[in-house]
């Protein structure tokens, strides 16, 4: 399957170099002028985008990409004398002079992450509709491990929330298996419709729903968690929910398992206060390396 790399730059030397580097791979370059915006570009067919942020047009193109499709990986093409690229929340940076190894490796890795994230969202939608057919959680865990590693490498924040219906054990005990699955599917669909397209909601276990939120700091995660609590109250079955949230600011070290523990502890705290609320775990950075399995 061909993977399209969108280059928002029409410089002939740059276009020629990228096409030469990607020749013989599964990737091809699609060129568009940064000043022209994204007119005529189907971002759903794009695996990775690349821009030069050193020009006003390039910066506007970057902002347009983030607005149009926050989940699309964006690479910055910079010269050594350019301002630090870290000021823009990109997914990768290539510094001139470009080499084939660097270009192919970065584009290929980001294209794979794009495909895996889309597959994860598709499976989450399927689970919301048919919770009894829940796929192997290990697939999602591997995807989330990669996302946490990316946040450490590129220094962007990530957050994770665990949601549980208050009094679920007592409520579930009164329902047979089909009705329990149906109710849990309704709650998962409610959660999925209340978060962004780039967030990944899924069933974590028999009674908790996990929401992974990339590019989301503690304040943004708390806002999202409060919104989910309010949405649960609107369920016709008279539900309330508790949510525990943990965040990582992208600095230091943090593991996926540490995020889960933080969110689980915060969820217990919310439930111990009577439920129908969200609690946020204190930010903890793990200096020691934890196993990724």
Residue pLDDT tens, the chain, 293 long: 789 999 999 999 999 999 999 999 999 999 999 887 687 889 889 999 999 988 888 889 999 998 888 888 999 999 877 655 446 788 889 999 999 999 999 999 888 878 766 765 665 555 555 444 444 556 666 777 777 777 777 778 889 999 999 999 898 888 887 788 778 888 888 888 888 877 888 888 878 999 989 888 999 999 999 999 999 998 888 899 999 999 988 777 777 888 899 999 999 999 999 999 999 997 654 433 343 33
Residue ranges per structural domain of the chain: 3-110, 130-280
What single DSSP character describes residue 291?
A: -
Domain 3-110: which CATH class? alpha beta
pLDDT of residue 290: 40
- Measured distance CA(123)–CA(134) in Å, rounded: 9
What single DSSP character describes residue 122?
A: H
What single DSSP character describes residue 241?
A: E
Say which residues have a Cβ less than 8 Å from residue 163's Cβ, sequence separation at least 6.
Answer: 187, 191, 208, 209, 210, 211, 225, 228, 232, 241, 242, 243, 267
Which of 111, 65, 110 shows the shortest CA–CA distance to 88? Answer: 65
For residues 256 and 272, the answer to whether their CB atoms sit within 8 Å is no
Q: Specify the CATH architecture of the domain 130-280.
A: 2-Layer Sandwich (3.30)
Q: What tokens appear for 73 in the block?
A: 């990986």
């Amino acid at each position: 399957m061909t993977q399209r790399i969108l280059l928002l730059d029409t410089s002939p030397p740059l276009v020629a170099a990228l096409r030469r580097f990607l020749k013989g791979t599964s990737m091809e370059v699609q060129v568009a002028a940064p000043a022209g915006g994204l007119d005529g570009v189907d971002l759903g067919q794009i695996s990775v985008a690349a821009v030069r942020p050193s020009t006003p047009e390039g910066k506007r193109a970057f902002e347009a990409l983030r607005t149009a499709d926050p989940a699309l990986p964006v690479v910055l093409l910079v010269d050594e004398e350019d301002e630090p690229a870290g000021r823009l929340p990109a997914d990768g940076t290539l510094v001139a002079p470009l080499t084939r190894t660097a270009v192919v490796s970065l584009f290929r890795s980001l294209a794979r992450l794009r495909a895996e994230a889309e597959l994860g969202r598709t499976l989450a939608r399927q689970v919301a509709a048919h919770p009894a057919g829940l796929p192997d959680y290990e697939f999602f865990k591997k995807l989330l491990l990669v996302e946490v590693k990316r946040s450490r490498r590129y220094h962007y924040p990530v957050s994770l929330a665990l949601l549980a219906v208050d009094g679920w054990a007592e409520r579930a005990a009164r329902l047979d298996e089909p009705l329990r699955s149906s109710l849990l599917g309704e709650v998962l669909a409610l959660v999925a419709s209340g978060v962004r397209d780039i967030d990944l909601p899924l069933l974590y276990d028999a009674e908790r729903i996990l929401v992974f939120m990339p590019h989301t700091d503690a304040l943004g995660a708390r806002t999202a968690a409060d919104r989910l609590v309010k949405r649960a109250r609107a369920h016709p079955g008279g539900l309330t929910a508790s949510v525990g949230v943990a965040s990582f600011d992208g600095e230091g070290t943090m593991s996926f398992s540490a995020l889960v523990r933080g969110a689980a502890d915060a969820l217990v705290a919310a439930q111990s206060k009577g439920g129908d609320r969200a609690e946020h775990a204190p930010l903890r950075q793990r200096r020691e390396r934890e196993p990724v399995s």
